[in-house]
């Protein structure tokens, strides 16, 4: 599975031999690959007007392009804000609750993300074909798809250590701009242009997988909530900045250059999480290594609103916590 950003085709349909050779080397003679473009065909075509574009079949003959539009940017942030507003509305009427839930479209985005990740996984597992995923910049929906597909396909990504490695690889080092995307969250009126909850959407999808395959993830909901918290505000440097360069070298803030030197100046979230005393809080007592691919159902009945996150401060989790304690007790056999 490969990821990239969009080819800079432009209105004049530029070609780039090196790019074609590069993608050509991925596939053997006669093999075919799939390109999953996370923009609609329309949007991808329009991107040419601003210098972007798609891979034309004539130049990339072994690759089949599939468009799976996934929401990103402002619309996704609005979706998130609307959902949080609906969840927090004390006057919400039973007659309106579901249509409000529907109108914010968050669950539709979850369904679309899972479906696309499954498609990528299907290409690899069932078609035994290579897959290239990209959207426009390659930093948002692209990472959502590649990371989720790996959780679906690869049992090692479902272990606590493997999942951390996946996050480091597919989100942090891959350059998801956390600083811009996870700035103010849903309550702020600031409505920053670059803010969008892709990472939260990813965590929500992982939560859906944990619900459908309760034995297959080594970690539980608590880890996902902790990651959500730390992406937005953290005592640790793991999610700081927007990419590796900024973390090492620094970034421009206004006119001054801010030397981040994250590794030297901050502590790692993983180091803290992995301490034996902490770690056990994040483990799933039902975990049992599952070597197979986990194929989720994306029927609406199978996708639920992540109550542990969205009603976290609204409704007590006492009874559910007691249930998990019972599960732990039962499974440990004492």
Partner 1 sequence: FHTLFMLQVENVKLLDRYTNRKAANGTLYLTATHLIYVDASAEVRKETWILHHHIATVEKLPLTTAGYPLLIHCKNFHVAHFVIGQERDCHEVYTSLLKLSQPVKPEELYAFSYNPKMSKENREIGWKLIDLKVDYQRMGIPNNYWEITDVNKDYEVCNTYPPEIVVPRAANKAVVVGSSRFRSRGRIPVLSYLYKGNNAAICRCSQPLSGFSARCLEDEQMLQAIREANPGSPFMYVVDTRPKLNAMANRAAGKGYENEDNYDNIRFKFIGIENIHVMRNSLQKLLEVCEMKSPSMSDFLTGLENSGWLRHIKAVMDAGVFLAKAVKDEKASVLVHCSDGWDRTAQVCSLASLLLDPFYRTFKGFMVLIEKEWIAMGHKFSHRCGHLDGDPKEVSPVFTQFVECVWQLMQQFPCTFEFNERFLLEIHDHVYSCQFGNFLGTCHKEREDLKICEKTHSLWPFLLQKKQELRNPLYRGFTAYKELQPNTLPFSFQFWCGMYNRFDKGMHPKQCVLDHLLSCMSQKMKLEDNASELENKLPFLDGPLPSEACSLSKVGCAASKTPMLNTPQDYEGEPPPVLSNGTSAGDIDVTSDVDQKYKENLSHHRDLHDLNDAIDVLDSEAKDGKPQHH
Interacting residues with partner 1 between 106 and 145 (CB under 8 A):
107-108, 111, 115-116, 118-119, 121-123, 126-127
Contact with partner 1 (CB under 8 A): which of 211, 248, 251, 279?
Answer: 211
Contact with partner 1 (CB under 8 A): which of 190, 233, 258, 331?
Answer: 331
Nearest-approach distance from CB 67 to partner 1, in angstroms: 6
DSSP notation for 125-169 = HTS--EEEEE-SSSSSHHHHHHHHHHHHH-GGGGSHHHHHHHHII
| Distance from C-alpha of 195 to C-alpha of 292, rounded to nearest angstrom | 36
Nearest-approach distance from CB 243 to partner 1, in angstroms: 31
Nearest-approach distance from CB 145 to partner 1, in angstroms: 12
The smaller minimum CB distance to partner 1, of residues 4 and 115, is found at 115
Q: Is 290 in the site for partner 1 (CB under 8 A)?
A: yes
- Read off the tokens for 129: 């074909």
Nearest-approach distance from CB 17 to partner 1, in angstroms: 19
Contact with partner 1 (CB under 8 A): which of 20, 161, 307, 312?
Answer: 307
- Over the window 55 to 74, marking each residue x when it contacts partner 1 by CB under 8 A and - when it does not, the resulting string is -xxx-----xxxxx------
Please give the C-alpha separations between residue 57 and each of 9, 23, 61, 62, 135, in angstroms, as whole numbers: 13, 12, 5, 8, 17
The smaller minimum CB distance to partner 1, of residues 244 and 314, is found at 314
Nearest-approach distance from CB 241 to partner 1, in angstroms: 34
Contact with partner 1 (CB under 8 A): which of 21, 253, 301, 313?
Answer: 301
Subset of 1-40 contacting partner 1 (CB under 8 A): 34, 40
Query: Applying CB under 8 A, which part among 184-192, 249-257, 267-275, 309-317 lies near partner 1?
Result: 309-317
Q: Which long-range contacts (CB under 8 A, 24 or more apart) does 190-195 make?
A: 191/77, 191/81, 193/74, 195/77
| Distance from C-alpha of 114 to C-alpha of 208, rounded to nearest angstrom | 9
Subset of 212-251 contacting partner 1 (CB under 8 A): 212-216
283 strand-pairing partners: 219
Nearest CA-CA partner of 33 in 2, 68, 67: 2
Nearest CA-CA partner of 43 in 95, 17, 6, 78: 6
* Binding footprint of partner 1, residue count (CB under 8 A): 73
- Read off the tokens for 108: 């539709």
Q: Is 265 in the site for partner 1 (CB under 8 A)?
A: no
| Distance from C-alpha of 160 to C-alpha of 150, rounded to nearest angstrom | 14
Q: Is 105 in the site for partner 1 (CB under 8 A)?
A: yes
């Amino acid at each position: 599975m490969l990821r990239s950003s969009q080819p800079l085709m432009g209105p004049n349909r530029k070609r780039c031999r090196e790019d074609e050779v590069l993608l050509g080397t991925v596939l053997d003679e006669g093999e075919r690959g799939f390109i999953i473009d996370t923009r609609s065909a329309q949007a991808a075509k329009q991107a040419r007007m601003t210098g972007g574009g798609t891979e034309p079949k004539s130049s990339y003959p072994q690759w089949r392009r599939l468009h799976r539009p996934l929401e990103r940017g402002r619309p996704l942030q609005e979706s998130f804000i609307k959902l949080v507003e609906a969840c927090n509305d004390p006057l919400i009427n039973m007659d309106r609750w579901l249509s409000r839930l529907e109108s914010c479209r968050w669950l539709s985005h979850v369904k679309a993300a899972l479906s696309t990740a499954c498609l990528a996984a299907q290409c690899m597992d069932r078609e035994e074909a290579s897959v290239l995923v990209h959207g426009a910049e390659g930093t948002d929906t692209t990472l959502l798809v590649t990371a989720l597909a790996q959780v679906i396909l690869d049992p090692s990504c479902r272990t606590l250590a493997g999942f951390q490695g996946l996050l480091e690889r597919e989100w942090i080092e891959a350059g998801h701009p956390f600083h811009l995307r996870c700035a103010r969250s849903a309550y702020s009126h600031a409505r920053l242009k670059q803010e969008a909850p892709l990472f939260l959407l990813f965590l929500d999808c992982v939560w859906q997988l944990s619900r459908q395959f309760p034995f297959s993830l080594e970690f539980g909901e608590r880890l996902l909530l902790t990651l959500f918290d730390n992406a937005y505000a953290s005592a640790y440097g793991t999610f700081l900045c927007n990419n590796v360069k900024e973390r090492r070298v620094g970034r421009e803030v206004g006119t001054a250059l801010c030397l981040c030197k994250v590794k030297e100046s901050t502590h790692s979230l993983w180091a803290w999480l992995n301490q034996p005393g902490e770690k056990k809080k994040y483990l799933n007592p039902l975990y049992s290594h599952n070597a197979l691919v986990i194929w989720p159902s994306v029927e609406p009945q199978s996708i639920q609103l992540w109550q542990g996150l969205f009603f976290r401060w609204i409704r007590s989790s006492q009874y559910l916590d007691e249930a998990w304690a019972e599960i732990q007790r039962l499974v440990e056999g004492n």
